[in-house]
Amino acid sequence: MGIFDFLTGEFIDVIHWTDNTRDTMVWRFEREGHEIKYGAKLTVREGQAAVFVHEGQLADVFTPGLYMLETNNMPIMTTLQHWDHGFDSPFKSEIYYVNTTRFSDLKWGTKNPIMLRDPEFGPTRLRAYGTYTVKVTDPAVFLREIVGTDGEFTMDEISYQIRNIIVQEFSRVIASSGIPALDMAANTADLGKLIASAIDPTMKQYGLSIPELYIENISLPPAVEAALDKRTSMGLAGDLGKFTQYSAAEAMTAAANNPAGGGMAAGLGAGMGMAMASQMAQGPWGAAPAPAAATPPPPPPVEHVWHIAKDGNVTGPFSKAAMGRMVTDGSLSRESMVWTQGQDGWKKAADVTELAHLFTIMPPPPPGA
């Protein structure tokens, strides 16, 4: 091998880039002193573009393919520097690889609620979030406007700015669309396209585009959502008259299953049953005419239930029948302190008229006592 062949081999250079990070947008090919040999091989793969910067000035953009860095295939470089030294003349330049594939599953969302006038609810607030994809469409503009001299530029460095642009345009589009909040779920696809088209002019200034933008959720404030849930429940109930009858029947069942209710539960159930029967007697177009002689009986009296205080503790409520049994077994005496609803404070059992006779029906002493 001659010295000429040796020097020729030394100056042959291969420039390429493979990426496995999934978030690198721009990577600068590093070479000591930024010396790129004349005649070097430049490999640009699918999903990439190579931006050639010479002496700080953007010289050319290479699309996918294999290139020999020579004068005849670098017309822009020819205008920047005259090649007169052949293969052995390295030139100080930089090559930036730009990832032109789509960066997907990027998140966006409103940090604060968006104020708007809803056709149905009036002034209200909305929150929203979703995903989007971004793609470099003009590598030269992207390098000049965003990347600068950053040797390794990742998606995280610009995602925050893109999210701000999306939220700003989303707020404007939603506020001017006039779509009711309840109908937005059915129009998320159209809203996403409107927002993407509204963002496009700004993104072009960065050399970027947003091929896809999805709205995953649009939500109202919790208080408004609670009101909507209540309104939905009323709609499911249907006929309010039948719903009232059903609720009364449920209350009667619950009262009958309450062992402490005693006579009060029975009286309450009877009263509610009569009220429900009266409602069912009414036809769907109003109350049916009642016979002139028919007079409904008064509701049965509601029996009191009692609470007993002993040693600082309160037990009950007990029905009157239960109180009678307690007198019989000795757990309730004349001195026991009792209280019922409507009574002015605690009283001795013997001082309560309704309970006093329970102590007068005690059996006589047994024979031989």
User: Region 326-345: what's the mean pLDDT?
Assistant: 83
* pLDDT given for residue 58 in this prediction: 85
Residue type, 8: T
The tokens describing 280, both together, are 């069912």
pLDDT score, position 209? 94
Could you report the per-residue pLDDT of 358-368, keeping only the tens digit for each?
A: 777 656 556 77
The pair of three-digit structure tokens given for residue 230, joined into one six-digit string: 């209540």
Confidence of residue 259 (pLDDT cuts 50, 70, 90): low
The confidence band for 82, taking pLDDT boundaries of 50, 70 and 90, is very low
**DSSP conformational letter for 144:** I
The answer to whether the beta carbons of residues 331 and 361 sit under 8 Å apart is no
* Count of all residues that appear for the chain in the document: 369
Q: Please give the residue that has the higher pLDDT: either 150 or 271.
A: 150
Taking only the tens place, the pLDDT of each residue in 173-225 is 888 878 888 888 788 888 888 888 889 999 999 999 999 999 998 888 888 77
Statement: residue 74 has pLDDT above 80: no
Mean pLDDT of the chain: 77
Amino acid at 272: M
In this predicted structure, what is the pLDDT of residue 45? 94
Q: How far apart are CA 98 and CA 214, in angstroms?
A: 25
Band of residue 163 on the pLDDT scale cut at 50, 70, 90: very high
Question: How far from the centroid of its chain's Cα atoms is residue 8's Cα?
Answer: 64
* Statement: residue 100 has pLDDT above 90: yes
pTM for the whole structure: 0.55
Q: What is the pLDDT of residues 87-97, one digit of tens each?
A: 445 667 788 99
